[in-house]
Amino acid sequence: MKYKSILPALAWLLSCIPPLVAAEAEKPFPFTVERTLNIVCLAADSGISSVWMRTIARPEGGGEPGIMVKSTAVPFSKRSEPIRYAGPAKIEFFDEEPPPGAPFDEEGIRRGPKPFAVTTLPTNQREVLLLFVPLPADAGDDGLKYRLLPFDDSKDMLPWGSYRLINFTNRPFVAFAGSQTQRHELAANRASGTIAPGGAKRNLQWIIFDAAKTDGKPVFSAQWLHRPDHRSLVFITESRNQRGAINVKTIGDWKD
């Protein structure tokens, strides 16, 4: 009789446990850590005409958190217009405008499309550049098409008259800028430190060698116009047309 008396209570208790699908559902990212910064976007290959950035954001000056959706372009040859941002660390990008209102329903199920790129903004940075790097087509079924790489884009990290080389290959390189005595190590899949040749406006000879080869042949050589009122990001990627070769792209920024 005692066992029969607890059955209704046990049934009620089991009914209070949410189903497994709800437990495994995607949970909304919490509004916890504040970021206040400027974001600019840049594409590593071809540009993206329109993207929508969404997050749970707190308007500048206080107020209750709300959903913020902003549209921007992701150019290929220059930085995008800056986006003023105030909100949590996690942001999402969509290739179509997400629906208004909360991104998740009451059970934690996402409403609308999945983001095609997601990132967590770094701490203690006020000028952030987000580089959109395409993922392989078979990267996964989570809908992500781009890897987002955030970089400190402040004048302290990349001052006028300087360069920063970002090596997206799996090979280490050695770069020389105007002098064979100033050796700059370019680790695989890493950004270099700030390279500041100094001096007045002039043509500057850049030579890049494969660090693993000893044949003395450069994989890249070019003359770039160096100016004290200009700064450059330099992207190094593997060539799709010639085995062992690299592609080098520069993105410049002029002092006002």
Q: Count helices and strands (H / E) in the chain.
A: 2, 16
Predicted confidence at residue 254, as pLDDT, reads 87
Residue numbers of the chain with a pLDDT score lower than 70: 1-34, 57-65, 138-141
pLDDT digits (tens, 9 = 90+) for 87-130: 888 899 998 888 887 788 888 788 888 899 999 988 888 999 99
- Whether 28 and 141 map to the same domain: the answer is yes
Q: Is 196 part of any domain? A: yes
* Boundary of a domain, candidates 88, 121, 152: 152
Domain at 186, CATH number: 2.60.40
- Whether 36 and 89 map to the same domain: the answer is yes
Q: Is 247 part of any domain? A: yes
Report the number of distinct structural domains present in the chain: 2
Predicted confidence at residue 240, as pLDDT, reads 75
Backbone φ and ψ for 159, nearest 5 degrees, come out as -75, 170
Three-state DSSP string of 135-199: CCCCCCCCCCCEEEEEEECCCCCCCCCCEEEEECCCCCEEEEECCCCCEEEECCCEECCCECCCC
pLDDT digits (tens, 9 = 90+) for 42-58: 988 787 888 999 887 66
Q: Which residue segment(s) compose the domain that 176 sits in?
A: 163-254
Q: Where are the alpha helices (DSSP H) in the chain?
A: 2-15, 20-23
Q: How big is the chain, counted in residues?
A: 256
User: What is the pTM (predicted TM-score) of this model?
Assistant: 0.73
* CA separation for the pair 178, 164 (Å, rounded): 15
Token pair belonging to 120: 């967590």
Query: By three-state DSSP, how is residue 107 classified?
Result: coil
Predicted confidence at residue 232, as pLDDT, reads 92
